[in-house]
Chain A
Amino acid sequence: MSFWKNVIKSLFEDEVDSADSFVLLETTQGDENKTVPEDLLKNKNVYPSLDVNLEYINARFNSLINSDIKIREFLIHVRNKEYKAFLLYIDGMSDNDSINEFILKPLMLRNDANTYQEDQVISQAITNNISVRKVKKFNITDYILDSLLPQNDVEKVNSFDTISDDVVSGNCVLFVDTLDYAFDISTKKFETRSISEPKNEPIIRGSQEAFVENLRTNTSMIRRNLSNENLVIENLTVGKIDKNKCAVCYLKNIANNDLVAEVKYRINNIDVDYCSSVGELEQFIKDDITSTLPEAVSTERVDRAVSYLLQGRVVIVYNGCPYVLVVPITVFDFLKSQEDININHVAANLLKIIRAISVLLTLLLPGFYIAITTYHSELLPTDLLFSIVASRSSVPFMIIVEILIMEISFEIIREAGLRVPSNLGNTVGIVGTLILGQAAVEANIVSPILVIIVAITGITSFSVLDFSFSFHLRIARFVYTILGALSGFLGIAVGLFIHIAILCSLKSFGVPYLTPYAPINVKSKSKYLLKPAWKREYRDEWLATKRPKAQDEISLKWRKNKNV
């Protein structure tokens, strides 16, 4: 009863989508450093007061929300005197054992080095049982360097910029009260398992590093590739029983605040017992929950995730999964490869056009074939038409049945090839495509031209980079095939029209799916085709970033300077 009630309700009532309420609006520019007091920012050097330094570091590294920025406050014992101090480092990029054993232990625990000895006393007076000792003067900096830090590589630094650069590259920095400089200690050690090459997103030129299953390793890989203190990695928990961790990464001075807040809001409001993977997480946070289209890019490439971060997008790392999610996206992101930015823009654009053609062929080729051969045969040259008719003459099935047999067989072979152990995968492919295909043609079950059509469709589908997007195309292809069989171009046009309307209605975290083409924005700087590397001046305007410009107007200053 409730089913029919829902059907009638959906027929006569307008859908109110709560996700519609979030639209990525223009950003409030210039607020990227609001958390840092302005007078603090003016000074670029270390303060003598530890509390001020701590406040500065908290603000600069967003340590209150940044899950991997670690600040350890403690007391240093120097010749029986106690000084307040703190240690700054990034979890996952520094060697914890080294920090514990060779920095914290010598500084905190009483030992021969930090307690005074009798020979350091110059004079001593005792009055009313109070002993007053005058000890030799000593330099605390030299003392810490010489006696308390048994490390091979320690430097005195007083610029916050240098400190920041070194911390994000894996060093730890020691701040001591009353000192207007800090100790930069080399403790680099990246948490890794043997990081492998990307299996599903290989490229020729560029990084060959892929994410692994461990969350902290993945965040450290992002940190290593993006050395900037504005990179914020916030830890959130998903699931009530299996409290799995996920990290929301963004550049605080670039990403839109509303976007970051929306991502965190959605992840924080998933009321489930468990979420097993990043793929499942994507389904929990997407705008249109009924759509088969993905609304986030899933990538295993560290460099790709980093370039998205630099554009102002948000990357979601999920513990236990070697893929990360990138939001928001447009449909054109599924046609981008990391290779595109590594090669000349002309070659990249050629590849992009080929990918777009591949998508169209994957989607429409079987539908078009059936529509043309059944309803619009005048489109074909007479000789070709004769050869198609001749090749089909001995096939006993209707053309739609023939094409469905082939398509379903192809999908079965693909699925089997994926699921069997990798050694057998190739064999299944060879047996399935070559032997069975040839046998089917010889047995007059299918026509040779159809084998060519299905093979082209299959090959073009492999040029679609995103796994989930490719699934959508595969589902839609069956629909277009049936529509083409039912009413030729009319059916395909109807299908495409509704399909485009659905695409137009989709949003990924407030960004329309077909941006910048629907809604059309002729002034948009981010079109489908790439500009030369030196002319990519602006970030995608639909991301409403805090730093719309990514390059200066004249980025190749060396050329200009030479001409002058």
Chain B
Amino acid sequence: MNSDKLNAIEATFLVIIVTLAHIILNLPNTILSSVGSSAIINVLYISFLIFIFFLIINKLFSSFPGKDILDVSEYVGGKTLKIITNILYTLSLTFTCGILILDFSEMLKLIYFPDAVVPFIVGIFLLTAIIVNKIGFKNVVKVNTLIVFVALIAVVIVFAASFSHVDFQRIFPIMGKGINETFFSGILNIYAFAGLIYLYLIKPNLRNEKDYKKVGIASIILSSLYLLLSVASLLFLFPFLTTGTETLSVYMSTRAIKLGKFFERTDALFILVWIFAFLSYLSVIISYLTKINKKVWNAKHSSPIIYIIALLTLIATLIPTNSTQIRFIEDHIYKYLSLFVVFVYSFLILLIGYLKKNNYMAKRRKTRKSIVKINN
């Protein structure tokens, strides 16, 4: 038995952790800012679209049993395209991961460690991820499964505990900033499901390949549900005009929670859970990038690759020099980069691969028929 193989729940939670990390940061806030009070409708709409998109991916992948996007790239464009895809994935993931960690570290500094320097906090995150990755890929996945479970419960608690402050009137106007923003320009909010990038990579790691569809659908449903809860708790708690502030969206919701007279400020406990979620997110990104790079470069040991990936992430955290740049990168560069990698580049590779394979199979069938004819 290969110990690196994942069961359906582990694989689902790998996809969810990416969405969860974004939910904890500013994803609900960004969606609210872009579409206004129609955020709930927008989330439902993009969830439906992503569901359709996944069904198409699943269909395209059905021609490549046991293969991931790197194998498909190799099939389409040889080793060169495989390396290009790998580099693109590595750079985009380390870049977005670095920015996210930087953003989260900035928030931690702002809230709890005013005297600390941000690179120090980033360093703690990276060091932890390196240590955990050294323990092994499968252990990262196991820890992630436990932590995602706790984090998901925390999101539900946030929603439930702040329910008494909810004002459902805030859903109006129902179409928010307008139909165009909700359904046309709002379609770009589909980047919220950038965690689907794992669905391009996860197939060879599944213990049972038939679980692939199950994993995809479950992860989309759960991600949608939690995105919906986060957006709803933010929308119903605060007038959407105030949500432009640059703090953790879910953290804002936790500030509203009061558990009796004794616990009036429980946000620190939720921060503890969010730290877990970010550590898990960072570890998962590094472990998966290590895994694919080890495969592409045919490396004997994982450790040097772990260090290189961690170094690249650290470099990414050094790019922005202030919070405005971080916000810009998160809201724009990350958005379009994710859209390009997940929804354009990978999809095109898969589509071309599918067509090429179909063409090849058709030719083969034709040749066989002609051989049979000649023999007859």
Contacts and interface: CB of A to CB of B under 8 A. Distances in A.
A443 interface: no
B371 interface: no
A342 B145 CA distance: 34
Interface stretch (B54-62, B136-144, B233-241): B136-144
B303 A14 contact: yes
Given A12-B304, A23-B1, A519-B7, A376 B112 contact: yes
Interface string A490-501: 101110111011
A498 B272 contact: no
Interface in A364-387: 372, 375-376, 378-379, 381
Interface string A1-29: 00000000001111000001001010000
Given A497-B276, A497-B279, A519-B10, A379 B304 contact: no
B10 A520 contact: yes
Contacts of B121: 490
A13 B301 contact: yes
Given A493-B276, A501-B140, A518-B142, A379 B301 contact: no
Contacts of B304: 12
Contacts, number: 106
A285 B276 CA distance: 34
A489 B275 CA distance: 8
Interface in A453-496: 487-490, 492-494, 496
B265 A502 contact: no
A497 B268 contact: no
A235 B145 CA distance: 42
Contacts of B147: 497, 500
Given A25-B1, A490-B121, A498-B131, A504 B142 contact: yes
B269 to A, nearest CB: 7
B132 A498 contact: yes
A397 interface: no
Contact of B301 (A14, A25, A505, A522): A14
A265 interface: no
- By CB atoms of chain B within 10 A, which of A489, A498, A502 has the most? A489
A490 B268 CA distance: 10
B272 to A, nearest CB: 4
Nearest to B145: A520
Contacts of B10: 519-520
B126 to A, nearest CB: 11
A517 interface: yes
A550 interface: no
A381 B276 contact: no
A396 to B, nearest CB: 23
A514 interface: yes
A501 B135 contact: yes
A375 B132 CA distance: 26
B3 interface: yes
A11 B138 CA distance: 19
B124 interface: yes
Contacts of B136: 505
A492 B272 contact: yes
Contacts of A502: 135
Interface in A244-273: none
Contacts of B131: 498, 501
A267 to B, nearest CB: 25
Contacts of B179: none
A335 B3 CA distance: 27
A181 to B, nearest CB: 51
A488 B266 contact: no
Contact of A379 (B135, B143, B269): B269
Nearest to A381: B262
Given A501-B132, A501-B140, A23 B146 contact: no
Contacts of A378: 265, 267-268
- By CB atoms of chain B within 10 A, which of A20, A372, A378, A493 has the most? A493
Contacts of B143: 497, 500-501, 504, 518
Interface in B244-271: 261-269, 271
Given A13-B303, A488-B112, A520-B10, A493 B275 contact: yes
Given A489-B271, A520-B7, A497 B303 contact: no
Contacts of B116: 487
B112 A375 contact: yes
Nearest to A488: B112
Interface in B108-127: 108, 112-113, 116, 121, 124
Contacts of A379: 263, 265-266, 268-269
B268 A494 contact: no
Given A492-B272, A505-B135, A497 B128 contact: yes
A518 B275 contact: no
B9 interface: yes
A12 B10 CA distance: 28
A522 B12 CA distance: 14
B269 A518 contact: no
B280 interface: yes
B205 interface: no
A258 to B, nearest CB: 13
A12 B303 CA distance: 5
B1 A498 contact: no
A489 B135 CA distance: 23
Interface in B127-180: 128, 131-132, 135-136, 138-140, 142-143, 145-147
Interface in B262-305: 262-269, 271-272, 275-276, 279-280, 283, 301-304
A518 B143 CA distance: 7
A14 B302 contact: yes
B151 to A, nearest CB: 12
Nearest to B261: A381
A517 B138 CA distance: 14
A25 B132 CA distance: 26
Contacts of B268: 372, 376, 378-379, 489
A71 to B, nearest CB: 41
Given A13-B301, A494-B128, A500 B269 contact: no
Contacts of B124: 487, 490, 494
Contacts of A23: 1, 3
A331 B124 CA distance: 28
A497 B150 CA distance: 13
Nearest to B9: A520
A93 B116 CA distance: 70
Contacts of A25: 1
A259 to B, nearest CB: 16
A17 B216 CA distance: 34
Contacts of A517: 146
Closest A-B pairs by Cβ, 5 of them: A376-B268, A518-B142, A493-B275, A504-B142, A378-B265
8 contacts: A13-B301, A381-B261, A487-B116, A490-B121, A497-B283, A498-B128, A504-B138, A518-B143
Interface of B: 1, 3, 7, 9-10, 108, 112-113, 116, 121, 124, 128, 131-132, 135-136, 138-140, 142-143, 145-147, 261-269, 271-272, 275-276, 279-280, 283, 301-304
